[in-house]
Every structure is written in structure tokens, then in C-alpha cells.
Amino acid sequence: MKTKMRGGGKKSYENGKGFVKLNSKLDILTASLKKNITRGKNYGKKNLKNATLREKKLVRLLTSFTEMGKKIANKER
């Protein structure tokens, strides 16, 4: 994951159209999660065993709270 949590780090990520500015920590987390999903890692409910603990927590957080999470969850099903 290139998006860092602490310190300066990378505050934007590329989404095909260009760079998107990230505001909150949740944005940064969703960005890194989406990046991993588009990179080919599959975090569907069945495949959560090959995700790291942090990513599992993220998937749960996202699928329950944000619209982006719902979209990701639908994409994975």
C-alpha cells in the first residue's frame, strides 16, 4: 500500500482520470483498499482469509458504513 497513514506520505491516488485528493483517514483507507481490489486481490466474504487483519477490518467497516463500501461489496459478489 502506497498510501501512508502517519506523517506526510501520499495524500492522493490515481483513479484513471487523474489524481484524487484525499481528505480523511477513511478516504485514504478506502483508496488503498480500492487500489488493492483493482490490482487483483479479491476481498470477497469468502476470500477474507488471505487478506491482512487491517484489511479485514477495513472491509467490514466499509461494507457496513460507506456507500463506496457497498459498491465494493457489490462488485465483489
The answer to whether position 67 is within a domain reads: yes
| CA–CA gap between residue 63 and residue 17 (Å, rounded) | 25
Provide mean pLDDT across the span 28-53. 56
Asked if residue 75 lies in contact with residue 37, where contact means CB atoms within 8 angstroms, the answer is yes
The three-point CA angle 33-74-55 to 5° equals 25
Residue 38 domain-assigned (yes or no): yes
Domain contains 18: no
Q: In this structure, is the dihedral angle defined by the CA atoms of residues 65, 21, 2 and 37, taken in order, positive or negative?
A: positive
Residue that wins the pLDDT comparison between 40 and 70: 70
- Residue 14 clears pLDDT 60, i.e. is over it: no
% of the chain with per-residue pLDDT over 90: 0
Q: Considering the domain boundaries, does residue 17 fall inside one?
A: no
In a domain, 54, yes or no: yes
Asked, for residue 19, whether it belongs to a domain, the answer is: no
Question: Residue 62 falls within a domain, yes or no?
Answer: yes
Q: Quick check: is 14 in a domain?
A: no
Number of domains in the chain: 1
The stretch 47-64 carries a mean pLDDT of 62
* DSSP H helix total and E strand total for the chain: 3, 2
Domain coverage including residue 34:
24-76
Residue 33 has pLDDT above 60, yes or no: yes
Per-residue confidence (pLDDT) for residue 40, from 0 to 100: 47
